[in-house]
């Protein structure tokens, strides 16, 4: 794991909301596809910088969440940006496997699609799904 080279005092720019969270947008560093949006608290942001992989705060589980910890679909951070009012972060990442828990590359799909998962299943996702299916059937 390679830490990000970001001085800790630069993180004073980050403005957490009343729940202690900041919005984090995750984008593929190669083709710019927006993969997902999640939230970070101070601990998860510090872990992200320390490890060079994304950590979030799960609002539903109310706990630190290392993306890909169980699936292996980690995100290796290539760059980190902050917006002009400090309440949103943009991470460009190398996505291992797929970002979405539904087995597709991006969590985003056309709003008017009735088959939201049909167009973006990557080869990797298909392989993963087969592997998981194999495990279930085994």
Instruction: Please give the residue ranges that form the binding site for a second copy (CB under 8 A).
Output: 5-7, 10-11, 13-14, 23, 25, 27, 31-34, 36-37, 79-85, 88-90, 100-102, 107-112, 116
Q: Shortest approach of a second copy to residue 66 CB, angstroms? A: 19
**Angle in degrees, CA 54, 19, 1, rounded to 5:** 15
Q: For the CA atoms of 70, 132, 28, 44, what is the dihedral angle to 10 degrees?
A: -10
Q: Shortest approach of a second copy to residue 57 CB, angstroms? A: 15
Q: Which is nearer to a second copy, 93 or 137 (CB)?
A: 93
| 35: CB partners within 8 A, 6+ apart | 26, 27, 28, 75, 93, 95, 99, 100, 105, 106, 107, 108
Q: Shortest approach of a second copy to residue 34 CB, angstroms? A: 5
Q: Which is nearer to a second copy, 79 or 126 (CB)?
A: 79
Closest-CA residue to 105 (of 80, 131, 130, 123): 123
Q: Shortest approach of a second copy to residue 78 CB, angstroms? A: 12
């Amino acid at each position: 794991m390679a830490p990000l080279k970001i001085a800790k005092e630069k993180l004073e720019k980050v403005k957490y909301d009343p729940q202690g969270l900041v919005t984090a947008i995750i984008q593929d560093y190669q083709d710019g596809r927006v993969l997902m949006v999640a939230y970070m608290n101070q601990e998860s942001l510090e872990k992200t910088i320390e490890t060079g992989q994304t950590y979030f705060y799960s609002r539903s589980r109310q706990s630190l969440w290392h993306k890909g910890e169980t699936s292996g679909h980690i995100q290796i951070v290539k760059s980190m940006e902050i917006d002009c009012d400090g309440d949103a972060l943009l991470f460009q990442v190398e996505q291992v496997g797929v970002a979405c828990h539904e087995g597709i590359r991006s969590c985003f799909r056309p709003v008017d699609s009735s088959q939201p998962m049909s167009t973006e299943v990557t080869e990797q996702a298909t392989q993963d799904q087969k592997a998981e299916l194999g495990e279930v059937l085994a």
